[in-house]
Amino acid sequence: MLPYRILLNEQVFVLSFQAVAMQGPGALDIAALETAFPDVRLQERVVVVGAGAAGVTAAYLLTRFGLRTVVLEARHRPGGRVWTVRHGRTQLDLGPCWIHGIEGNPLAALVRRVGARLVQTDRTRIALYSRWRRRRVPAEQLRKLAPFFLQLLLESKDVAFASPHDISLTRALLRTGIRYLFRLPSSLAVIRWAWGAFELVMGTDTGSLSARYWDQDLDLTGGDWFVTSGYWTLFEPLLQELTVHYGMEVTEIRWGEDRPVELITRDGTQYVADRVVVTLPLGVLQQRRVRFVPDLPGWKRRAIGRLGFGCLNKVILLFPRVFWPAETDYVGFLPECPRGYSYFVNLQKLCGVPALMGYVAGRLARRLERASDDETVARALRPLRRTFGAVPEPEQVWLTRWASDPFACGSYSYIPVGAYGGEFDQLRAPVANRLFFAGEATHRVFPGAVHGAVLSGVEAALRIAALARSEATTACRAAAG
């Protein structure tokens, strides 16, 4: 298992993903740091901005390390982009639903801790329907589609690096696809649908992705697991040990190398801290919804501006009965023009509720945020009614508009044309050992993933604890003469 190395004050902490999964973030690193300076009590104050996965993880560890830690959350609920809602006894997620790669995943320890219920899903278990004849696409076509598309992606990278400068993944795919024009494994409509499904995974259009570096991140093994008991339940045991102030939108952060950090909220409340962990989503930083005084260094601002922040929106439709194939994990429809809802998750099979969860991403997702709820639902129902006929009206609907959410401004990060991935490292790097940054967009190995956000929170807490202990030890030694 690949180790994850952190260099702190000439000490190297090697976080094995396997060790994280077996012991959990609290047990893994607290012992290592507490034995470093056992005779020093930490008196520093830390404020964590944001009560999402990264913020709660960082605050939990900092509290266990003995630092006085407060979390400021702009919303009136925890979780950030992890958003779990309840329907009767069922938990439905409007944010992340899956744990991608369970082996060595730090979320595995949290799963065991709360006894979360998981169901493994398989993207090949899908009922895909033709637009024109309203028939299912043969399984043989779908089996050939995945290796073909993977080969296309691999060859498009060669095309991209042969270009004198970075190009979009769309352009690279089109140049590569010309070679296969007369030996396609399926119809163009099916291939176009697969292309759209890939954009759902990326959270943006391929025209925005860097053809050279879009896939520089690392994938964990162990399959894809749908969390049926609610994603945020994984973090509730950590949250119970924290001091969280809700409805506190931080609008200004005043910092300096040799003085405490001041944080001002929209209602004028002021907080003072020795160090701050900023876990704001990349989209919020890009829209400069928080003012830094003085401004962040140029290298930090460039990293924020160069990365991309996508948008993936959901609609969950709860019906009085099931009218789709109940045995499949997914239901798909060859897309209309322009693309609409062509990919649904079968929540009847996964959660036991007669509901479908549909997705849209990229420019279409942002455009649909301007539509009314009724218009969006009608668009989602269109392929269902075209295929299955008399579809009942949904009894309840849940919608997301992540790009319009002022505390998210989008869904998750990606590498756009012209960037290379090093921007994730620059976004994570501390400023003057006062401002620390965490969140999925700060983790180069696992950007766009909840486990990336968790590991970034672990690293921020380790850095702060190591600095606090080092400075406290130096002060004690100086006082002792």
Structural domains of the chain sorted by starting position, each given as residue range(s) with its CATH number in brackets: 3-82+235-307+417-479 (3.50.50.60), 86-102+118-226+312-399 (3.90.660.10)
pLDDT at 159: 96
Over its length of 481 residues, how does the chain's per-residue pLDDT go in tens digits? Answer: 334 444 444 344 444 333 333 333 333 333 343 444 444 456 789 999 999 999 999 999 999 888 999 999 999 999 999 999 999 989 999 999 999 999 889 999 899 999 999 999 999 999 999 876 678 988 888 888 889 999 999 999 999 999 999 999 999 999 999 988 878 888 888 889 999 999 999 999 999 999 999 999 998 999 999 999 999 999 999 999 999 999 999 999 999 998 999 999 999 999 999 999 999 999 999 999 999 999 999 999 999 999 999 999 999 999 999 999 999 999 999 976 556 899 999 999 999 999 999 999 999 999 999 999 999 999 999 999 999 998 999 999 999 999 999 999 999 999 999 999 999 999 999 999 999 999 999 999 999 999 999 999 999 999 998 888 877 666 666 666 5
pLDDT at 41: 53
Q: At residue 263, what are phi and psi to the nearest 5 degrees? A: -120, 135
Kindly list the distances between the CA atom of residue 210 and the CA atoms of 109, 156, 158, 165, 410, in Å, as whole numbers in the listed order.
Answer: 34, 11, 13, 10, 19
pLDDT at 479: 63
Give the span between the Cα atoms of 254 and 61, in whole angstroms: 25
Output b/e per residue, 85-101; b: 16+ Cβ within 10 A. Answer: eeeeebbbbbbbbbbbb
User: Tokens 């498009």 identify what position?
Assistant: 156
pLDDT at 367: 95
